[in-house]
Structure 1
Amino acid sequence: MDKQQQILEKAVELFGEKGYENTSIQEIADEIGIAKGSIYSYFQSKEDLLISIYEHYQQLVFERAFVVSLNRSIPVKQRLMKQFEVQFEGIAEYKFFMKMQMRGDGPKHSEKLKQFEYRMRGRFFTWLDANIIELFGPDITPYKWDLFWMVQSIYTSYMKLFVSDHITIQAKDLATHLVTQLQHLGESYLHGESKPLLKDEEMASFAVKMDKQGAFVSFEKREQAWKNIYETIQLCNTIQENRRQELIDCVDRISIEVNKQQPEQIILKGLFSILKSEPFLMEPVEQLEAILFTE
C-alpha cells in the first residue's frame, strides 16, 4: 500500500471513530508513524484530505457500475439492475465511509465540500440519464427530471437503511426493487397517466455535466482505460466467442477486486497475467494497470 493510500485509510478510521473536528493531522501522522509534514506533501489541509477521501470512495463505487455498463451482452434492464447492485455492494463494503458522509462530517459552510457534492450529483444524474434513455427510448426525455428526482430520493432513502446496523437488505434485492419501481414510473409517464412537473429551464442549476476531473481523482482517465480494454476485446475478430467471454469475465473480476477495501494482490496479478497472454491486449492492459496502481 502506498503512502497516500495509508493516509486515506487511517484518516477514514480516525474520522469514523472520533469525528472530523476531533481528529488532528498530527494524530493521523502519529498513527501511521510518519512526520506531520509528510501528510501535507499530499494534502494541503485537513479539508482537502476529507474531500480526497470522499472522492476516492465515491469513485470506487461509481467505477463498479461503469465497468458493468460496458458489458453490452447483458440486456438493458438487467444491466441497469446489475449497475445498481454493484453500487450497493460497494456501499456495503465501505459502510464506514458512507456513514461518515451521511453524518455530514467536515467543516461547516465549506465551499470545497459544496463543489464536491455538486460534482457527485453531476456524475449520478449523467449516469442515470444515459440509462433511462436506453431503457425507455428518447420519448422519456420530457419526464427525465421527475424520474431523476424520484430515483435519487428512493436511492438515498434506502441507502440510509442499507448501511444501518438494524436492517438487512441484500444488494441484489434492492437493485431489483429500485429498477422495477423506475420501470413502473417511466411506463406510467409514457402511457400518459401523469404529466412532468419538472422542466429543463427550472432545473438548470441541477444540470451538471459529468465531471471529468475531481479535485484529486481523474475520473475520465480511469474510465477511458476500462473502456479501451472492453472495446479491444469486443472488437477483436481473431478469437472464439467463448474466449472473448472468458476475457470479459477476467476484466469484470479485476474491476471487482481492485475496488475492494483490501484487494488481493496475488489474484490481481494472476488476472492481469491472463489478459497479457493475449498479444492484442498487451497495450490496453498495461495502460489500465499503470493507472490503477499509480493513482
Structure 2
Amino acid sequence: MHILEAAMKCFAQKGYHATSMQEIADSLKIAKGSLYFYFKSKEDVLVSAFKHYHGLMAHEIMIIAKDLRLSPRERLMKQFTLQMEQFMKHQDFIVMMLNEQAFQINEDMKRFMFTSKAEALYWYYNSILAIYGSDVEEYALDAATMIQAISGDYIGYMIFHRKKFDTEHLSTFFMHRLDDLVHGLIEKQQAPILSMDNMGAFMKCGKEGFDHEMTQVERELIALGQEIAELDTEVKIVEEITSCYQVLQQEWAKPEPQPMILKGLLAYLRSFRRPTLSKSLDVLESEI
C-alpha cells in the first residue's frame, strides 16, 4: 500500500512522535484531509503500517510453508532466510518501533503483538515436529522457544548493530544449532519446561492465527497484484495501475469497505483494458 509504505518511511526517518500527519501527507503529495479519509489518527496509521509490514512477511512465509517440493528442513531454512531479509529491509522502521516503545501504543497493537508471537511459536513448533518426528514431541515447545530466542538475538545484532551476516550461511547455522538442541533434549531425557498443559491457550491462539484461511477476496487481490507486476506496458501506466491497486487493497482491508468506492476503483482498473486483469476484476466485483 503506497500510503503505508510512505508512512513507514517517515516514521523510520523522524520517529513516530516527531512525525506529523501533515508530513506524511506532504511526502505523498496529497492533502492532509485525504489522509484522514483513510485513517482516523496517526496512531491508526502506525498500527496499519506495522500490520501491513507483518502481513507481507507472513504471506511470503506461508508460500514457502505450502511448497511441498521442499522438505520440512528446506522449508524452515528458507523461512529463516526470508525472515532475516525482511527484517533488514525494514530495519529503520523496526528500530524506531522499539526505541519509541511503539509496540505498546494501544490495545489493538498489544493484542496484535501477542497473537504474532503466538503464531511464531506455533510455526516453529510444527516445523520441528515435521523435521524430527514424534521423538521430539515432548520437547518441541522448549526447542521452539530456544531457537526463536537464538535467531532473535542474531537478528538483533543485524538490526541494531548493523552487523553484516550472510543470511543463507546464518540459516544453515541456525539449523545446526537446532539439531544440537533437539538431539541434546532427547538424549538427556530431562522433564520439559514447556508443555501443552502450561502453554495450551497460547498455542491455541497461535494456531487460530497461523491456520487462518484466506478469503476469496484476499486470494484474488494477491493474484491481481501478481498480474499487475507482470504487465508489459509503459512505466507510467503501470504506476497508475499499481497506485489504484494499492488504494483498492486498503479500502478492502477496512472493517466496513464502501461498495461505491470499490466499484469505482475496479472500473478505473478496467479502463486500462488489460485482458490479463479481467478474471480477477470479475471475481472481485462479484464479491462486493
- TM-score over 0.5 for the pair: yes
> How has the CA–CA distance of structure 1 residues 32 and 158 changed in structure 2, closer, same or farther, with 3 Å as cutoff?
same
Alpha-carbon contact 1:225-1:288 (below 8 Å) kept: no
Letter in 2 for 1:80: L
Q: How does 1:144-293 map to 2 (within 5 A)?
A: 144-164=140-160, 166-207=162-203, 208-210=205-207, 212=209, 220-221=214-215, 225=219, 268-269=230-231
Q: Report SS of the residue matched to 1:21.
A: coil
Alpha-carbon contact 1:25-1:46 (below 8 Å) kept: yes
The one of 27, 31, 45 aligned to 2:27: 31
> How has the CA–CA distance of structure 1 residues 222 and 152 changed in structure 2, closer, same or farther, with 3 Å as cutoff?
farther
Q: C-alpha displacement at 1:188, in angstroms? A: 1.9
- 1:129 alignment partner in structure 2: 125
> How has the CA–CA distance of structure 1 residues 133 and 74 changed in structure 2, closer, same or farther, with 3 Å as cutoff?
same
The yes-or-no answer on 1:42 pairing with 2:38 is yes
Alpha-carbon contact 1:26-1:36 (below 8 Å) kept: yes
Alpha-carbon contact 1:47-1:107 (below 8 Å) kept: no
State the Cα deviation string for residues 30-55 of structure 1 (Å, max 9, x = none).
33222222222222222221111111
Letter in 2 for 1:170: D
Q: C-alpha displacement at 1:105, in angstroms? A: 4.4
Q: C-alpha displacement at 1:212, in angstroms? A: 4.6
Q: Report SS of the residue matched to 1:201.
A: helix
> How has the CA–CA distance of structure 1 residues 290 and 223 changed in structure 2, closer, same or farther, with 3 Å as cutoff?
closer
In structure 1, runs of 5+ residues without a counterpart are 230-253, 259-263, 271-282
> How has the CA–CA distance of structure 1 residues 7 and 163 changed in structure 2, closer, same or farther, with 3 Å as cutoff?
same
Alpha-carbon contact 1:65-1:84 (below 8 Å) kept: no
Write the distance in 2 (CA, Å) between the matches of 1:203 and 1:24: 41
The one of 20, 24, 30 aligned to 2:16: 20
The answer to which structure, 1 or 2, has the higher relative contact order (CA under 8 A, 6+ apart) is 1
State the Cα deviation string for residues 43-86 of structure 1 (Å, max 9, x = none).
22222211111111112222222212222122221221112112
Q: How does 1:89-108 map to 2 (within 5 A)?
A: 89-106=85-102, 108=104
Q: C-alpha displacement at 1:146, in angstroms? A: 0.9
Letter in 1 for 2:109: L
Q: C-alpha displacement at 1:97, in angstroms? A: 2.5
What is the aligned-residue identity percentage?
27
> How has the CA–CA distance of structure 1 residues 11 and 105 changed in structure 2, closer, same or farther, with 3 Å as cutoff?
farther
Write the distance in 1 (CA, Å) between the matches of 2:70 and 2:282: 25
TM score, norm. by length of structure 2: 0.70
The yes-or-no answer on 1:111 pairing with 2:107 is yes
How many pairs are equivalent?
238
- 1:60 alignment partner in structure 2: 56
Letter in 2 for 1:269: L
Write the distance in 1 (CA, Å) between the matches of 2:25 and 2:133: 52
The yes-or-no answer on 1:73 pairing with 2:94 is no
In structure 2, runs of 5+ residues without a counterpart are 233-275
TM score, norm. by length of structure 1: 0.68
Letter in 1 for 2:132: F
Q: Report SS of the residue matched to 2:179.
A: helix
> How has the CA–CA distance of structure 1 residues 133 and 224 changed in structure 2, closer, same or farther, with 3 Å as cutoff?
farther
> How has the CA–CA distance of structure 1 residues 201 and 109 changed in structure 2, closer, same or farther, with 3 Å as cutoff?
farther
CA RMSD, 1 decimal: 3.6
Alpha-carbon contact 1:57-1:97 (below 8 Å) kept: no
Write the distance in 2 (CA, Å) between the matches of 1:220 and 1:184: 36
